[in-house]
């Protein structure tokens, strides 16, 4: 089920609490930061519980919940049958009775297997009937790990369209930890998408203060720039930052805005940046047609028109299954070189 | 294997105190009258939206809901308004919902029997997609089990819904986790125009329970006490940690799928048979009369009350304002407080 | 199940073939035009068959297939259990063996109940494995008929994102008939969304030549104009045309582009119109955030920047369940007056 | 109710001509060897992507697929590569797929056992979502029934997949329509880390067949002839218009869920028991030796062939080019002709 055995085998020690899995330097990987958020919220509020496939004794396909069952018991770290519709339905019903479920999807790809309960029940119930549903749906999304079509999807546009879920796609360990804690504490349904390419590749110093959170719905400028703005999120943030370095060398100053939350969208931060740079490159890993960037581009065109010195440019993969072969997947996903080329064209416009 | 329940109604000792039997009859009469009047209003073009008649199935609805405590939760479908009325929904607010008014349980956001009253009567707001509430019932039951209290969840769906994947997942999950839930299938022999053989290939639905390792019972929906007894048994079992059960209650959908459907696909003899032999209201009325629990007078008085209540509720509904236009954009996130404050009542439109 | 009993009762005679249901004037309603397309294709190619709930003896919830079973038999007009995932799966499997299934969803809302088979199997199979899947999924979509959240959805953005289905949302009987025939003859998966508000409200002269088709993927200018372009589709086309009349009187000349097919999108026709008018109002009934219009706006911003004299404007409902009460639904859906107001602002910009 | 099949393997009369029995053994040996070598390559980091071992379940896979004609269709899962090899997939192209090369059946678009060869061997390209091919099998079967020919569809899935709604819908649909389809469940006792009791609450999967009004049989996956006999019976029944059947073949997943999984959650004794008593390859080898159908020499010769074929196929796979980058954007619509012409072979990357 995993993309890269080498990486998987590198899963941290057994039974240890996540904090204990930080590196020598005290840094936390994206994966460990997520595990810490879950652990701390489970400690903080016993109404919080987790359900999903293989999250208990096994500790999850990516070992995010490793050690949780020993600490919190099988009642709060529930292994379920392979029944996504019912996993979501159970989360909803238990939330209606005061619990705060966090459902893990083994891969975000399988959220489509629970699509109806997510978009018809979870997303609409509060608007229709006024019962808060503090449900968190989380799972590994995204490509670039040679896992092919069924283990690489970016489903956020599907669920953003539904309108009743707050959706987060963090790019950094600190944001991941802070946003997941906010999601668990939020009384509204939330979807937390963990980009699997980041799980073990990205690490940083992450606060150990259990009450440090990151607000849902706020983007962040991850790099200041003056010539153009790259609006992006998830794994692409790191490709954008890498490209920005080279561009800098070439004399192009790129600002990088990390959306962090894709629904609701932080229009203000995006627009403020465009007002400053007057050029927008929207970079996203969800498919180009009706991917998150389509909405971002539309918002910019609608609300920042007077500030634009060039067309809003978009860089994203086609609306096709993510292919397996390295030669295909590399061509399929936006690469750093593609970003540089696009930024060059945009700056020169 | 399905086990036939020995109809308690035939026994001399009564399953409930006379007062409750009387109450049950009153509820049956109310549901029947409400159904007839609402359908008439619909046919006259005076009732907006859709109307799903539950006539002929009141034995299932009233029998099942009567077996619940007020804090047990009920997960019904579009067909089960009678079960919600039995659970305690207020006629005025129910009718306000049909007319799209602000005093409806869903504040005009949904209509007809797509209704629910979670905080008041613990009923889940009906959704169309079938049987989408079944998995949700698992969750409520899970919460009761986790809390260690003895509440239970009861979900109803129709015969046709048993062919949907959600039905299977929910029953299977409830068995694996031994959840305190009761699965009631209102087998009214049709799914819209589809008779049972188009929906499944077994003689009964009750026998499917064996595939989940839970008891399955088949009862006559024309006999409210038979339904009540079977459901009460399943409820007790669930309360005491015995896990889930499946109950198939057989009746016939007397009317079309919804108000617009003449149901020409239904054999007249079949309808004839059920209306004469399996009328849950008539049968129970006669039983209570024969038992001397009620008199003809009691029944007449109750009928008058019901008519009066219906008229009052109808008037209330028509007098209730439409929601304010601006409400359409509120209430998605908990943060805007729409659902925790009184809604504006300044809506005005002559639509519908 | 139906929105308006009065309308439903007006369903045409029993057992007659659709052609016989045209009005005195020989005009065909949107519904009859669709029924004729199905009938003619069933006559033309016996590999074509229909499956769905209540489409046989009953003739369909909206009576589109009334009379079909008598003519084509129960094998080609199959009533199925309530199992959308399997209805789609069956369509796929039978298409792999040479049949050409047309699956009816009682309401397009229930397409989410078959979401996984649609987006994971049907949409991706040819790209992955090279087996053509000539499957048509059809169903009534859209609001405005007081049918509330579960009978009013516009699901096209969800399925367009998947990328492997051609999606049509016709506004006129002729386009509906011609596009549906093209869909049935197409070797690729198609989704045909019938706006239920149009079923019996809109009629026109429709060709009786069984070989007249409308090409998939081509938009049409339904009204010429010079001051601004309203890009829209489905029921909104009629609201746009109505608004255009009033605007004309006020001296604002609006061009109305009807997308007809929403995936793949006819960028050329849209861009050509914007080049002419320099102003774009994107009007759509799918939700505003990531609705079809988001992509249209993004495309215009990206490719017609030099031609724009004003920001791309969007008019669409919020991403919320469609409410039942008339006062709510009227506020929720874009009305003719809203279109006029938006067009005025745009023209004045 | 599940009915135990009387293991034909114990009978003196042989179910198949000696040549076919020999062939069956060869296939079993190939599948076993392929599985062991591929896992080894994976562990050495020389095999990209994932590897799902089917070891210990070859009896189910080979037994089931052997009962099919070449134009019958097979709908497998990630675990069932051995069934596809039995159906006739070419080792070279299978391995080219694992290495993401253009000569793979899916031209590098997918990897590992997410493979299929519709036009050649009538096998459906595996998809991850479970058990998403079950409904599709209904469609193929429907086409056979409509065409009036005697072809059938056979679908395999695991024990865990039976708890998913699609499994129920497909079985129910096939029963309602009496489709010529055979449902095989490879009960290897685990769904990733979940043992049967976490997935369902019945003693067997076979008994669930009663809920669909179809026969259900439970066989020992360690005995390939037992599986073959049961599947052949179900296949004949389907061919002759007898409708669908369910067959549960019990074995154990000897390895982890996939290459990365040490399966520490599995009791060593259980594994021990199955590897010694229920090894389908060893058992069948001994049987054929005792029956005198094969000699020790035959087996050694066959083993050498298999090793040679594997090496050749491995070499072929590594020599096959990666797809051209531009191919990534082709083949979605039939119109671009990508799938009807030979693919470009100029791809080059040292990735993987
Ligand atoms: C998933 C899904 N598909 C289709 C429909 C449309 N529909 C509404 S009611 C109905 C028939 C339901 O039959 P049954 O389950 O027996 O319930 P009944 O109406 O007889 O009470 C159908 C097909 C739906 N509501 N949900
Ligand atoms: C709908 C869905 N949910 C989750 C998964 C992730 N997953 C892949 S294999 C697997 C276990 C499958 O168990 P089983 O059906 O017994 O098949 P086996 O692997 O044992 O052959 C899971 C949970 C999936 N593939 N599909
Ligand atoms: Mg029914
Ligand atoms: Mg298994």
Q: How much is the average pLDDT of B305-324?
A: 97
- Within chain C, strands assigned E span 28-29, 48-52, 77-79, 100-104, 136-141, 166-168, 190-195, 203-204, 220-223, 228-232, 254-258, 261-263, 280-283, 313-315
pLDDT, tens digit, for every residue of D330-342?
Answer: 999 999 999 999 9
Confidence of residue D13 (pLDDT cuts 50, 70, 90): confident
Asked if A49 has any chain B CB less than 8 Å from its own CB, the reply is: yes
Asked if B348 has any chain A CB less than 8 Å from its own CB, the reply is: no
Query: Which phi and psi angles does B132 have, rounded to 5°?
Result: -70, -15
CB pairs under 8 A between A and B: 120
- Within A10-132, strands assigned E span 28-29, 48-52, 77-79, 100-104
- According to the model, what pLDDT value does residue C9 have? 34
Flag if D200 and B176 touch (Cβ within 8 Å).
yes
pLDDT, tens digit, for every residue of D167-191?
Answer: 999 999 999 999 999 999 999 999 9
State percent of chain D over pLDDT 90: 93
pLDDT, tens digit, for every residue of A46-56?
Answer: 999 999 999 99
Confidence of residue C342 (pLDDT cuts 50, 70, 90): very high
Q: How much is the average pLDDT of D218-237?
A: 98
Confidence of residue D349 (pLDDT cuts 50, 70, 90): low
Q: Which residue of B has its CA nearest to C320?
A: B332
* Interface probe with D: pick from A324, A332, A333, most Cβ of D within 10 Å: A324
Report whether pLDDT(A6) > 50: no
Confidence of residue A74 (pLDDT cuts 50, 70, 90): very high
pTM over 0.90: yes
CA distances from C244 to B252, C259, C335, C340, D103 (A): 53, 17, 13, 8, 57
pLDDT, tens digit, for every residue of D253-307?
Answer: 999 999 999 999 999 999 999 999 999 999 999 999 999 999 999 999 999 999 9
Report whether pLDDT(B7) > 70: no
Confidence of residue C27 (pLDDT cuts 50, 70, 90): very high
Report whether pLDDT(C13) > 70: no
- According to the model, what pLDDT value does residue B58 have? 98
Helix (H, G, I), strand (E, B) or coil at C172: coil
Average pLDDT, chain B: 95
Neighbouring subunits of D (3+ Cβ pairs under 8 A): A, B, C
Q: Which residue of A has its CA nearest to C293?
A: A298
Torsion of Cα atoms, B4 then B5 then B10 then B12, to 10°: 150
Report whether pLDDT(A3) > 80: no
The angle, 0 to 180 degrees and rounded to 10, between the axes of the packed helices B165-176 and B133-147 is: 10
C94 and C101 in contact (C-beta within 8 Å)? Answer: yes
Identify any residues that bridge with D19 across adjacent strands, giving them in sequence order: none
Q: Which residue of D has its CA nearest to A55?
A: D193
Three-class DSSP labels, chain D: CEEECCCHHHCCCCCCCHHHHHHHHHHHHHHHHHHHHHHHHHHCCCCCCCCCCCCCCHHHHHHHHHCCCCCCEEECCCCCHHHHHHHCCCHHHHHHHHCCCCCCCCCCCCCCCCCCEHHHHCECCCCCCCCCHHHHHHHHHHHHHHHCCCCCEEEEEECHHHHCHHHHHHHHHHHHCCCCEEEEEEECCEECCEEHHHHCCCCCCHHHHHHHCCCEEEEECCCHHHHHHHHHHHHHHHHCCCCCEEEEEECCCCCCCCCCCCCCCCCHHHHHHHHHHCCHHHHHHHHHHHCCCCCHHHHHHHHHHHHHHHHHHHHHHHHCCECCHHHHHCCCCHHHCHHHCCCCCCECCCCC
Confidence of residue D7 (pLDDT cuts 50, 70, 90): very low
Secondary structure element (H or E) that encloses residue B200, with its range: none
**Alpha-carbon distance A133 to A120, whole Å?**
13
Closest protein CA for atom 19 of ligand 1:
B191
Whether a cis peptide bond, with omega within 30° of 0, leads into D272 is no
Q: How much is the average pLDDT of D31-55?
A: 97
Confidence of residue B348 (pLDDT cuts 50, 70, 90): low
Report whether pLDDT(A15) > 60: no
Across the interface, of B163, B165, B192, the residue whose CB is closest to C58 is B192
- According to the model, what pLDDT value does residue D343 have? 85
Report whether pLDDT(C15) > 60: no
Q: How much is the average pLDDT of A183-194?
A: 99
pLDDT, tens digit, for every residue of B172-196?
Answer: 999 999 999 999 999 999 999 999 9
Average pLDDT, chain A: 95
Q: C265-282 as b/e, with b when 16 or more CB fall inside 10 Å? A: bbbebbbebbebbbbbbb
Radius of gyration of chain D (CA): 20
Category of B189 on φ-ψ map: left (φ > 0), alpha (ψ -120 to 50) or beta: left
pLDDT, tens digit, for every residue of C235-253?
Answer: 999 999 999 999 999 999 9
pLDDT, tens digit, for every residue of C156-175?
Answer: 999 999 999 999 999 999 99
Q: C59-71 as b/e, with b when 16 or more CB fall inside 10 Å? A: bbbbbbbbbbbee
- According to the model, what pLDDT value does residue A12 have? 40
Q: How much is the average pLDDT of A310-318?
A: 98
- According to the model, what pLDDT value does residue A308 have? 98
- According to the model, what pLDDT value does residue D347 have? 76
Flag if D100 and A326 touch (Cβ within 8 Å).
yes
Flag if D210 and B200 touch (Cβ within 8 Å).
no
Confidence of residue B12 (pLDDT cuts 50, 70, 90): low
Helix (H, G, I), strand (E, B) or coil at A230: strand
Residues 67-86 of C with CB under 8 A from D: 75, 80-81, 83, 85-86
Torsion of Cα atoms, D154 then D159 then D162 then D166, to 10°: -50
């Amino acid at each position: 089920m995993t993309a890269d055995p080498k990486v998987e085998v590198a899963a941290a020690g057994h039974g240890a609490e996540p904090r204990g899995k930080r590196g020598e330097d005290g840094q936390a990987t994206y994966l460990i930061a997520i595990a810490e958020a879950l652990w701390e919220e489970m400690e903080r509020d016993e109404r919080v519980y987790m359900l999903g496939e293989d999250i208990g004794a096994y500790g999850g396909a990516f070992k995010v919940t490793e050690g949780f069952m020993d600490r919190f018991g099988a009642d709060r770290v529930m292994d379920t049958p392979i029944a996504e519709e019912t996993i979501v339905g159970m989360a909803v019903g238990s939330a209606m009775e005061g619990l705060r479920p966090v459902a893990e999807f083994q891969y975000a790809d399988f959220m489509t297997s629970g699509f109806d309960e997510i978009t018809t029940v979870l997303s609409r119930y509060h608007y229709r009937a006024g019962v808060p549903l503090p449900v968190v749906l989380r799972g590994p999304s995204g490509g670039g790990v040679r896992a092919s079509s069924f283990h690489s999807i970016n489903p956020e546009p599907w669920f953003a369209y539904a309108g009743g879920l707050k959706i987060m796609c963090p790019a950094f360990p600190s944001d991941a930890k802070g946003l997941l804690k906010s999601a668990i504490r939020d009384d509204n349904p939330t979807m937390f998408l963990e980009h699997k390419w980041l799980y073990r590749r990205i690490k940083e110093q992450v606060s150990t203060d259990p009450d440090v959170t990151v607000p849902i719905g706020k983007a962040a400028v991850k790099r200041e720039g003056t010539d153009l703005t790259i609006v992006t999120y998830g794994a692409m943030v790191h490709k954008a930052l890498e490209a920005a370095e080279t561009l800098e060398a070439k004399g192009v100053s790129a600002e990088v805005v990390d959306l962090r939350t894709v629904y609701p969208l932080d229009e203000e931060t995006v627009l403020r940046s465009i007002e400053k740079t007057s050029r927008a490159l929207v970079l996203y890993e969800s498919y180009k047609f009706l991917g998150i960037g389509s909405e971002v581009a539309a918002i910019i065109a609608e609300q920042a028109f007077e500030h634009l010195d060039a067309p809003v440019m978009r860089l994203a993969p086609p609306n096709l299954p993510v292919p397996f072969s390295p030669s295909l997947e590399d061509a399929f996903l936006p690469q750093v070189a593609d970003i540089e080329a696009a930024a060059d064209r945009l700056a020169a416009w | 294997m399905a086990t036939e329940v020995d109809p308690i109604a035939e026994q001399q000792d009564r399953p409930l105190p006379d007062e409750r039997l009387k109450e049950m009859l009153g509820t049956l009469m109310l549901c029947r009258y409400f159904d007839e009047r609402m359908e008439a209003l619909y046919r006259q073009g005076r009732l907006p939206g859709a109307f799903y008649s539950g006539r002929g199935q009141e034995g299932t609805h009233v029998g099942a809901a009567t077996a619940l405590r007020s804090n047990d939760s009920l997960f019904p479908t579009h067909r089960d308004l009678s079960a919600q009325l039995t659970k305690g929904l207020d006629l005025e607010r129910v009718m306000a919902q049909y007319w799209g008014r602000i005093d409806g349980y869903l504040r005009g956001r949904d209509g007809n029997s797509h209704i629910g009253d979670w905080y008041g009567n613990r009923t889940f707001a009906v959704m169309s997609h079938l049987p989408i509430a079944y998995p949700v019932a698992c969750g409520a039951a899970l919460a009761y089990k986790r809390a260690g209290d003895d509440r239970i969840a009861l979900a109803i769906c129709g015969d046709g819904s048993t062919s949907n994947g959600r039905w299977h997942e929910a029953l299977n999950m409830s068995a694996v986790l031994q959840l305190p839930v009761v699965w009631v299938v209102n087998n009214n022999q049709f799914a819209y125009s589809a008779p049972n053989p188009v929906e499944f290939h077994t003689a009964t639905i009750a026998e499917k329970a064996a595939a989940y390792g839970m008891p399955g019972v088949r009862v006559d929906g024309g006999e409210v006490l038979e339904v009540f007894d079977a459901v009460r048994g399943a409820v007790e079992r669930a309360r005491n940690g015995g896990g889930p059960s499946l109950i198939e209650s057989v009746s016939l959908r007397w009317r079309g799928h919804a108000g617009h459907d003449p149901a020409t696909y239904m054999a007249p003899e079949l309808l004839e048979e059920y209306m004469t032999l399996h009328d849950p209201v008539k049968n129970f009325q006669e039983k209570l009369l024969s038992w001397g629990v009620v008199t003809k007078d009691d029944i007449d008085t109750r009928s008058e009350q019901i008519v009066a209540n219906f008229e009052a509720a109808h008037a209330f509904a028509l007098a209730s304002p439409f929601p304010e236009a601006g409400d359409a954009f509120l209430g998605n996130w908990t943060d805007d407080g729409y659902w925790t404050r009184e809604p504006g009542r300044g809506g005005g439109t002559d639509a519908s």
